[in-house]
Structure 1
Amino acid sequence: MNRRIIGAICLVAVLLVTGLAPARAAERPTIKIGWSIYVGFMPLVYMEKSGILKKWGDKYNVDLKVTLVNDYVGSINQFIGGDLDIVTVAGMDGLTMPAAGGVDTTLFMIGDYSNGNDVLLSKKAGSVKELKGQTVDLVQFSVSHYLLQRALVKNGMTGLGDVKTVNISDADIASAYLTSPDVTNVASWKPMTDDMIKGVPGTKVLFTSQEIPGEIMDVFITKTATMKAHPEAIKALAGAWYEALGILSGNDAKAKDMREVMAAGMGTDVAGFESQEATTHFFKTAKEASDFLTAASTKEIWDNIRTFSFEQGLFGQGATSKDDVGISFPDGSVLGNTANVKLRVNDDITALAAAGKL
């Protein structure tokens, strides 16, 4: 399942599980890292194949086991249940699934944000404002739903109440737009939106995630107890990640090889990978990532995310306010309930990487 699908699936009871599920050998722990196929997570494939991950694991005397989970939501549920120690997620999902479900969760590294991968399209409307009163097809409670809300608000409208939304699966949305005259407006993501634009002449791009930089982010999360018990594993993963991103930043033979490996992992060619890479903002240095995690504007982003999440019922039936779930930040400040902090945006390891201390 695509990493962009959240929502209805996260409106289930989750178990509060702390620590690491399997027994660990004290001398060399094994840390299980779950991920699903998405352009922003593909460096993990190269890290494993190239030996970079093993090299950093050896440095910190830890085994980092990377596991591809084909079902994105399933990967988060495995994390919640204790079968995975670390998982890659869209930032909003880290809040609405483990954190809102009661799991004390730490966001310790950001990989990228969508910088045009998520798109609002129309066959007829010439602007976002012209969508008022119209129907928009999308995957309900996904980042596409969030994108639509932000598009409406940023164009002077009140929000989702100005339009009608129809829930449609990610498997069906492209074909519906291409074949059904009744489907005139959609919010979706690449590569499906590329097919829609090519297949329906005159399609207008009304809004993209490039207009909300940083808001649709992809991150690494772990349980706070794991973060405290195994900082060496987090350091090893961060060291490997930024070494790989350093290679991706280049134009030499190693960078070419890395793109070929990642493209193959996605089941596409290099051109297909680069098309999505072009609209994905990778944090290619730890300094840039650290600056983002500690910026005042990042708190504003999380306030937008938690507001949308609460209004859509993604905090669960018992939630009475967007403040019910506390979100803490590197400067010690908290959005929401200080007595119920369940998502911790943590810059400690990224800052070490930025300072060259890993």
Structure 2
Amino acid sequence: MTISRRIILAGLLATTSAVSLAACSKPKEAPKKATGKTEFTIGWSIYAGWMPWPYAAQAGIVKKWADKYGLTINILQINDYVESVNQFTAGKLDGVTVASMDALTIPAAGGKDTTAVIVGDYSNGNDGIVAKSAKTVADLKGARVNLVELSVSHYLLARALESAGLKMTDVKTVNTSDADIVGAYASADVQNVATWNPQLGELKKTKGTTLIFDSSKIPGEILDLLVVDTALLAATPDLGKALTGIWYETLALMAAKTPQGAAARAAMAGLAGATPEDYESQLSTTFLYYTPKDALKAIEDPQLATIMDRVRQFSFSQGLFGPGASSVDAIGISLPGKTLGSSDNIKLRFDPTWTKLAAENAL
């Protein structure tokens, strides 16, 4: 089972709960009548870039857009990140917040046709490698590195080693749970750690510690999404419109340098169990695509295919496609103008349809 850096953030709240949808004024236009399934549940777990979802529910933004399209959208917190992705894969959730690597290696690899409706952000320093004696990545040759194996930390290490002309076989990884990694670093036996915030921030405070690599060196590669069941989107495309409208209205408020914007971010911090200062710090190393035009540019950039090719190559090399996958091309990934892998078995889709509508103010 893939483990993600999101687990520690999900553990900040002690209980799993659905966020209540606050009442809000009706939109000017009359609600549309939807056909087929009209009620949907979107799962989320705590991470700086995903806190707009529960805030939007609390503030009535979810209800506003759901009403516009004659839908009911429930925003449900799942404390365990991996469990949220597993529930989506099993059909218990209609959509979920997920890192791109995990979208590929859990639902897509599990045979579920999955579409990224929102490309929300990428880690821009939230993930890193720290060392007590090593000063550069090259110094890691022959060393042990503690990390959560098969997570984005593992991917980060692989990319760091590549940048220094090294391979994964040049180091020995030691699987260490996210809950134990800060304590492990206090031991003299543990010299090097790859991890994510908030643990990364704590470890950087340790005397004599050097940050030798972080995710700002590989921009766009640790990508965070909102994915939805592709068949549901085909049956109810208005779901994609509503979710996209919710997202960008909330981000516009979040980005505002006004008292209202500050209050929205403070509310998101509270929902994450963090102080406003801690949350602002996490946002500083999270590159959010605040506008649909910026997100659309990222989705349509040929660089996305290069990034997803790296992700799939790493995932296959680590056996994350499952025992039935005979090659890296076993799972198809659809991108604007390009398909990676099997065109007969596309299971992960980056579809710009709804982002483009938002960019054109056509939702």
Q: Same fold, TM exceeding 0.5?
A: yes
Structure 1 distance, partners of 2:331, 2:36, is 36
Structure 1 distance, partners of 2:356, 2:314, is 30
Structure 2 residue corresponding to 1:222, chosen from 210, 228, 234 = 228
Q: Which ranges in structure 2 are unaligned for 5 or more consecutive residues?
A: 8-33
**2:243 equivalent to 1:237:** yes
Residue matched to 2:105: 96
Over 3 Å counting, the alpha-carbon distance change for 1:44 and 1:2 in structure 2 is: farther
Structure 2 distance, partners of 1:196, 1:330, is 40
Structure 1 distance, partners of 2:157, 2:6, is 15
Q: CA deviation at 1:105?
A: 1.1
Structure 2 residue corresponding to 1:272, chosen from 250, 274, 278 = 278
Residue matched to 2:132: 123
Structure 2 distance, partners of 1:327, 1:2, is 21
**2:222 equivalent to 1:193:** no
Residue matched to 1:17: none
Q: CA deviation at 1:244?
A: 0.7
SS in 2 for 1:327: strand
Structure 2 distance, partners of 1:260, 1:155, is 40
**2:174 equivalent to 1:174:** no
SS in 1 for 2:343: coil
Q: CA deviation at 1:27?
A: 7.2
Which of structure 1's runs of 4+ aligned residues deviate more than 6 A? none
Q: CA deviation at 1:241?
A: 0.5
SS in 2 for 1:137: strand
**2:159 equivalent to 1:150:** yes
Structure 2 distance, partners of 1:323, 1:218, is 23
Structure 2 distance, partners of 1:154, 1:62, is 48
Q: CA deviation at 1:4?
A: 2.1
CA offset digits 1:38-83 (Å, max 9, x no partner): 1110011210111111111111111110000011111111111111
CA offset digits 1:126-181 (Å, max 9, x no partner): 10000000000000000000000000101222x2111100001000001110x200
Over 3 Å counting, the alpha-carbon distance change for 1:315 and 1:2 in structure 2 is: closer
Cα pair 2:131 2:193 within 8 Å, conserved = yes
SS in 2 for 1:65: strand
Cα pair 1:112 1:280 within 8 Å, conserved = yes
Residue matched to 1:285: 291
Q: How does 1:5-84 map to 2 (within 5 A)?
A: 26=35, 29-84=38-93
The amino acid of 2:130's aligned partner reads: L
Residue matched to 1:140: 149
Q: TM-score, normalised by structure 2?
A: 0.90
The amino acid of 1:190's aligned partner reads: N
SS in 1 for 2:282: helix
Structure 2 distance, partners of 1:203, 1:75, is 34
CA offset digits 1:184-216 (Å, max 9, x no partner): 000001111111121x20100000000000000
Structure 1 distance, partners of 2:75, 2:346, is 28
Q: CA deviation at 1:28?
A: 7.2
Comparing 40-49 and 277-286, the one that deviates more: 40-49
Q: CA deviation at 1:278?
A: 0.1
Residue matched to 2:5: 4
Residue matched to 1:348: 353
Residue matched to 1:163: 171
Cα pair 1:3 1:73 within 8 Å, conserved = yes
**2:315 equivalent to 1:309:** yes
**2:202 equivalent to 1:207:** no
Q: How does 1:291-330 map to 2 (within 5 A)?
A: 291-330=297-336
Structure 2 distance, partners of 1:152, 1:260, is 38
SS in 2 for 1:323: helix
Structure 1 distance, partners of 2:344, 2:350, is 16
Cα pair 2:6 2:47 within 8 Å, conserved = no
Q: CA deviation at 1:109?
A: 1.2
Q: Which ranges in structure 1 are unaligned for 5 or more consecutive residues?
A: 7-24
Q: CA deviation at 1:2?
A: 7.8
Residue matched to 1:13: none
Percent identical? 48
Q: TM-score, normalised by structure 1?
A: 0.91
Q: CA deviation at 1:253?
A: 1.4
SS in 1 for 2:328: coil
